[in-house]
Each structure stands twice: as C-alpha cells, then as structure tokens.
C-alpha cells in the first residue's frame, strides 16, 4: 500500500478573556499601581497573613477580612534560574534566557510571592537573601503584577 | 465491602511525538487492546469513564470528541479532568454500588499536538503566576530548591533517582527511554531550570492507557483473575504555591493515610511489596517516599542510598522505570496501576521483580507543586 502523507492542521487559538479581579484582587492591584505598596489580608481565625490577599483562608474556610499593609522588602525563600524559552505575554516574544524566578516572603506576611529576581548568577543566589521590590515608573503601571519589574538583592 | 478490581489492562506505545496517529486513532487502538486482553466485546461493557484534559486536547469538553473511539456509543460515559487513575477511583466507587458489573476506564493525552509548557502555564492563575511564565518545570524547580534547602539534599541525590529509574526502565520493553544513564551523565545534562536538569525531568510522551474494572462476581463468572482494589485515597492541597509547605506534600500524606486506613495497612514498608509512583521529577520520588509514609522527613535519600527501593531491595519503587522513563500526559498515574498489575500477576516479562509480590501501592498526582495526589492499594 502506498504510504499516506501525514498532514497537520496548525492553529493558534486566541482565547478572549476579561478576568474579573474582584474586590481583594482589585484592592491589591490598585494599591500596587497607585502607591507602589503591597497589600495582604489576615485570617481572623489562624492569624495567617496572605499576600496576595485571598478570598478565603483555605484551611479555616474564613474570609481574611483585615487588610494589612506590607513593606517592599523580604527574604528569598526559593529560586530557579530558568534556561528554557517562554513567550512573554508582555512583549509577545521570547523572554531572553536565563532569567530567575523566585519565591519571596515579604516582611510581615506568612506566604510567598512568586516573582522575578534580577540576578542569574547561581553563585550569587542562595535561600535567605534579603530582596527589595523594584517598581516600574508610575506612568508605566497599569494595575497588574507586572507593575513590579522584579526583586533585587539588597544584601 | 464488595470486591472490585481490575481484570484487564493495556497502554499504547509511548513516544515523544506520535506523528502517525491522531488522538482518535490512539484511543481506538488502546480500547481495542484492552478489550482483547479481557476477551470481551464492546457490547459487554457497562459504562465508560474517561480522563483527558481540555487544554491538552485544544477543545472544551474534549471527551465528546472521542466517544466513538472509546466505545462509549449509547453508554453511560463521564469524564474526569485528571489523570486516568482518578477515573479508576470514580469507576471503583460506582462498581461498589452493585448497580454495574464492569467499567472501561480510559485516558489519553497527545501532548505533541500542543506543547507541555503551554498547557502547564495555562493551569496557572492569570493574575499572579501566568504572567511570570511559570510552567511545570519552573514550578518543580522552585519546589526542589525548597526541599533541598530544608533537608540538605543535593543535585547528586536527585541524580541518583534518575540513575536507578533509568536502569530499571532499561529492562522494561514497554517504556519510552530504554537506555541507562550514569550519575556523571545526569549531572552533565543541560540545566532546564536550576536545580532541575534534562535527565532529572520526565520526557515528553504521547500516550493512552486503559483498564477494565469489574466486580469479583463478574470476574469469577468469566474466569478472569482479579487484581483487587483494597483501598483508595485522594486529597487536594491549596492552589497558590506560596501558601503551603513545599518541602513535602500534605495531600500525598493525606491520600496515603486514607488508602492505608481503607486497606488496613499499618506498616506500609512491611505490608506492601513494592510501589509504582508518578515521579515526574527525580526529587518527587524522594519527597514522596516521605509523604507516603515510608521514611521520616528528609530521609528519602537515605532510603534510596541503602538500596531499599531498588529492584533487589525490600521495597522496590518504580520497577518499571517510572515516569522518568515515560510520562504520558493524563495517563502516567494509570500506567503506574498497569505496571502494578503486571508485577502482581507475574507478567512483567523481562523485568518481573525477583521476589514474590502480592500487594502494591500505585500513586498518581495532578496539578503543579503536587497539589493533588492519589494512592491505590492493589492486591491479589
Ligand atoms: Zn485561617
């Protein structure tokens, strides 16, 4: 039997969404945009401070209603120097590699924020380093997590 | 409780890119194969429970697209958007009702039609994680660092898992990566996302798997051996990774505890003979030894180094080579079940464990950061 030529259908699906940030999400993002400040919320039941603020404390199933203002410094809990390409939704093109992803525990909160760290030299990275948020200039901020450009090491 | 188990099993060939087959062809092939194994016709199947992922398949409610191929025409069919092992759990509970004799469980994922990074990034929160480009690899890398930092584990410890599993996979004719690797090769392989390297990360795999579940009465009527399900447990952890302890997996612990309770297992290392777990990254295996209750926190590497979990050890883990040798998306966990069935029935030709085996644990997981875990105790 003659070998069938195998065909493929290429499709790039654009999925339109207009995600509602809700009350807590909007509060977090507007304060980030307008004041360059991080807002978390505290669970009245277990005392845990969430950043970003959550609708509910999962283990307690209680809304963390108390708003807590946090500073822009914290501790690097984990990191990874990433070596594979990723299409940056900001630019629509590949982010240059390597780049570093980190988990940052901001001072005064109990959870970790994921963000970029402005250092790709493995010799200069270790858990426990002190880091500080670097914001975009006020006029470039649009109310998204990306209003924070990255965290830089301040040790 | 009613006796329910597995009477037949099959999986497709595993390859990084099955260019010759559409997803429908892949699914028809595995469904035919499992029916042949059971000596059954499709008309004898009472119901079908499938497992697939809409993002991987590129269509919403993607099971609707493959109803014909999985033989579900005019049958009860429902879908689980998780690994096929979760579909098996669903089938198990339905069969316990006594309303059915049997169930076909089938899972598929043709990831090469899409891209692994796309599908894992799509599972991320669009506000907080997706814009950072977080994917399965970078998420696992962040977790690996937390684990390594807490317990002083090293890249060599992770590499040793890959060396064991690739060596075991090299004698398994069914798996994808059949070549052993040395510690030096693993440590010299390219860094994907530090501290993860190419050879400590599972390969990309297209594949499908299927099992036929039945009640004990039905299996006896048909003269089929039954691999009994003795206990099942599963559990979900919080979604956002920054809100939980990533040096372990609380949901894996909870899943195992539930399965052990149901199967009345008090000392898993003594009462079970081996296990097949979904270690999509080498460090998962060490973390899961601990979470599944086989050693204390941080002791996973000791268990490995002492040879306890090797082929000749007292508690072999992943005698098939595990997910580091073949990682079919949405089927990796169900394939762990298939591999347990082969060992338990003495049909793991070429890689049958040297000691007699009667009872095993199969583990599946789902989501980033080991968010959801499932444990099944199987026995003969
Ligand atoms: Zn709470």
Mean pLDDT by 10 residues, chain A (155 residues): 88 90 95 97 97 95 96 97 82 87 96 96 96 97 96 94
B11-23 pLDDT tens trace = 999 999 998 999 9
pLDDT value of position B117 = 86
Asked if A90 reaches chain B (Cβ–Cβ under 8 Å), the answer is yes
As given in the structure block, the two tokens for residue B32 are 């035919």
Contacting residues of B for A103, CB less than 8 Å apart: 142, 146, 241-242
In chain A, which among 109-138 make CB contacts under 8 A with chain B? 111-116, 122, 127
Q: Work out the percent of chain B whose per-residue pLDDT is above 70.
A: 100
Strand ranges inside chain B, DSSP E? 4-11, 47-51, 76-80, 102-109, 191-193, 196-197, 207-215, 227-236, 274-276, 359-366, 372-379
Distance between CA atoms of B49 and B47, rounded to whole angstroms? 7
Q: In what order do the strands lie in the sheet with A49-50?
A: A49-50, A38-42, A66-70
Closest CA to B375 of B217, B257, B264, B296: B257
Residue with tokens 């994921």: A114
Instruction: Give the mean model confidence (pLDDT) for residues B106-112.
Output: 96
Pairing of strands B359-366, B76-80: unpaired
pLDDT value of position A134 = 98
Nearest Cα residue in chain B from A13: B58
**Residue B8, class by beta-carbon neighbours within 10 Å (0-12 exposed, 13-18 middle, 19+ buried)?**
buried
Give the mean pLDDT of chain B: 97
Asked if B25 reaches chain A (Cβ–Cβ under 8 Å), the answer is no
Query: Domain limits of chain A?
Result: 22-154
**What's phi and psi for A42, nearest 5 deg?**
-110, 135
What is the dotted CATH code of the domain comprising B4-115+204-221?
Answer: 3.40.47.10
Nearest Cα residue in chain A from B193: A82
Q: Do B58 and A80 touch (CB under 8 A)?
A: no
Closest CA to A54 of A36, A17, A28: A28
pLDDT value of position B250 = 98
Name every residue whose Cβ is closer than 8 Å to that of residue B212 and which is 6 or more positions away in sequence: B6, B7, B8, B9, B34, B35, B37, B38, B40, B45, B102, B103, B104, B105
ipTM: 0.94
Cis, peptide link before residue B195, omega less than 30° from 0: yes
Name every residue whose Cβ is closer than 8 Å to that of residue B219 and which is 6 or more positions away in sequence: B5, B7, B225, B226
pLDDT value of position A89 = 67
Q: Do B133 and A86 touch (CB under 8 A)?
A: yes
**Cα B36 to chain centroid, rounded:** 23
Query: Domain limits of chain B?
Result: 4-115+204-221
Name every residue whose Cβ is closer than 8 Å to that of residue B60 and which is 6 or more positions away in sequence: B54
Pairing of strands A49-50, B359-366: unpaired
Asked if A107 reaches chain B (Cβ–Cβ under 8 Å), the answer is no
B203-259 pLDDT tens trace = 999 999 999 999 999 999 999 999 999 999 999 999 999 899 999 999 999 999 999
Handedness of CA B308, B312, B317, B318 (dihedral sign): positive
The CB-side HSE value for B20 (13 A sphere, CA atoms) comes to: 7
pLDDT value of position B372 = 98
Q: Work out the percent of chain B whose per-residue pLDDT is above 90.
A: 96
Contacting residues of B for A86, CB less than 8 Å apart: 117, 121, 133, 135
Distance between CA atoms of B36 and B7, rounded to whole angstroms? 11
Q: Do B132 and A114 meet the contact criterion of CB atoms below 8 Å apart?
A: yes
């Amino acid at each position: 039997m003659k070998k069938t030529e195998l065909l493929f259908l290429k499709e790039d699906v654009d999925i339109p969404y207009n995600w509602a940030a809700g009350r807590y999400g909007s509060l977090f993002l507007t304060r980030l945009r307008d004041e360059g400040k991080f807002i978390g919320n505290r669970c009245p039941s277990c005392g845990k401070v969430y950043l970003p603020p959550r609708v509910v404390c999962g283990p307690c199933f209680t809304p963390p209603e108390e708003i807590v203002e946090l500073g822009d410094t914290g501790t690097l809990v984990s990191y990874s120097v990433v070596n594979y390409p990723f299409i940056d939704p900001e630019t629509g093109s590949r982010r240059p590699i390597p780049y570093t992803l980190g988990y940052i525990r901001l001072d005064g909160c109990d959870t970790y924020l994921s963000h970029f760290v402005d250092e790709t030299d493995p010799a200069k990275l270790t858990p426990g380093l002190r880091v500080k948020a670097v914001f975009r200039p006020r006029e470039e901020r649009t109310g998204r997590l990306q209003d924070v450009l990255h965290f830089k090491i301040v040790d | 409780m009613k006796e329910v188990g597995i009477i037949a099993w099959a999986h497709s060939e595993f390859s990084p890119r099955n260019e010759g087959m559409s997803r429908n062809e892949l699914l028809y092939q595995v469904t035919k194969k499992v029916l042949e194994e059971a000596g059954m016709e499709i008309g004898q199947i009472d119901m079908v429970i499938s497992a697939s992922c809409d993002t991987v398949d590129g269509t919403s409610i993607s099971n609707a697209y493959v109803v014909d191929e999985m033989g579900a025409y005019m049958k009860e069919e429902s879908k689980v958007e998780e690994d096929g092992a979760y579909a098996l759990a669903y089938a198990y509970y339905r069969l316990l009702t006594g309303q059915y004799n049997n169930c076909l469980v089938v899972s598929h994922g043709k990831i090469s039609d899409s891209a692994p990074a796309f599908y894992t990034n799509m599972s991320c929160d669009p506000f907080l994680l997706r814009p950072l480009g977080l994917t399965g690899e970078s998420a696992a890398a962040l977790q690996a660092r937390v684990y390594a930092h807490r317990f002083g584990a090293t890249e060599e410890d992770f590499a040793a898992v890959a060396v064991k599993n690739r060596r075991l996979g090299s004698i398994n004719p069914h798996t994808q990566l059949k070549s052993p690797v040395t510690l030096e090769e693993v440590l010299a392989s390219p860094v994907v996302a530090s501290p993860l390297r190419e050879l400590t990360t599972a390969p990309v795999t297209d594949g499908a798997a299927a099992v036929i579940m039945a009640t004990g009465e039905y299996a006896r009527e048909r003269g089929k051996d039954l691999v009994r399900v003795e206990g099942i447990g599963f559990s979900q952890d919080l979604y956002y990774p920054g809100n939980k302890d990533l040096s372990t997996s609380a949901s894996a612990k909870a899943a195992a505890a539930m399965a052990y309770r149901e199967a009345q297992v008090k000392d898993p290392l003594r009462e079970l003979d081996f296990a097949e777990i979904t270690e999509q990254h080498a460090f998962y295996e060490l973390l899961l030894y601990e979470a599944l209750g086989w050693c204390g926190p941080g002791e996973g590497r000791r268990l490995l180094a002492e040879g306890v979990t090797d082929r000749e050890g007292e508690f072999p883990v992943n005698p098939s080579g595990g997910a580091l040798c073949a990682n079919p998306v949405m089927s990796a966990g169900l394939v762990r079940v298939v591999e347990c069935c082969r060992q338990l029935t003495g049909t793991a030709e070429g890689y049958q464990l040297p000691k007699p085996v009667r009872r095993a644990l199969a583990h599946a997981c789902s989501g980033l950061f080991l968010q959801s875990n499932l444990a099944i105790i199987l026995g003969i």
